[in-house]
Structure 1
Amino acid sequence: MSATRIVQHLLYTLKPGQKGVAAVCNGGGGASSIIVEKLAVLKSTGRPKLTLYTKNPCPLCDDLRLQLQPFLDRVELENLDIERQDNSRWRSLYKYEIPVLFLEGQFLCKHKLDERVLERRTIRDAISKPLPCAQNHLGCQFPSLTPTASSMTPPLTPP
């Protein structure tokens, strides 16, 4: 079996977040090995992603969630419980630091939310992303600025 097929089979059988190793004998006494991790494919809402490393119970985490309420219409919030068995990596990193908040995979804050930094970073990310019509200029539809006859007629009122 070729090395490509072995790696392809490995990736097919791994679940998101799992790691695997493939080893291949090259012939002539040589060998190669590769370590791979299958990444999760997340559905994007088009909003910046906030990842909150938390556990239950965590009063500081609850306070931070309350502080995040005004931003939830502009961001996607993922709560990652560090106490879950499959999150041991995050538990070892953040067990004494939670709550820890990341924006798009970059550290934002820990223990307490700095609302000004979150506001600045979400605005910066929104400005740096191209508009949907800039990606597909042929499909752009701009609203007409001239009034039409239907927009100028008064609404009907019951007698």
Structure 2
Amino acid sequence: MNWTDERVEKLKKLWSEGLSASQIAAQLGGVSRNAVIGKVHRLCLPGRAKAGGTTATARAKRPAPAAPRTASNTFASRMAAPRAATRTTGAAVMKEEVEIDAIEQREEAPASNVVVPMSRRLGLTQLTDRTCKWPIGDPMKEEFHFCGNDSPDTSPYCTFHAKLAYQPSAERRRAR
């Protein structure tokens, strides 16, 4: 099947009207849905939103990112101005104003009583069954080493690094 100028123009017209690639293929005849998609990409025709306009409106309804931290470790509360979002439904393009909710202010308490143990700075060949195998630094750099502190029988890490390595699943979910 050859793409003649008139078939390309019809493809462009049907694409701009919002028809799907399958519908365009059926109207053109003798061409598959994938051939239509390929030609659309080669022509660099603009993409369209998915059915229901989920891409533009979902992006517009997300809350604004949090403000940078201040010296007192609080997040600033701010209200974003309403902004216009466009979405495509079939051949119709709709523009709507979407309000973004304010971000609530919350305090982040610094962790108290955090004591980071001094590492013994052991190399790989110096590790034993009773030493902490927590890697420290970049393995590609010369100053890379392992913690090397004493570890309990059941763990490859010292008590401090075991708390970092083995977190309860509920805490991991909360941190996300």
Q: Taking structure 2 as the reference length, what is the TM-score of the superposition?
A: 0.20
Q: Which has the higher strand share?
A: 1
Structure exhibiting the larger radius of gyration computed from Cα positions: 2
Higher relative contact order (CA 8 A, sep 6+): 1
Q: Which has the higher helix share?
A: 1
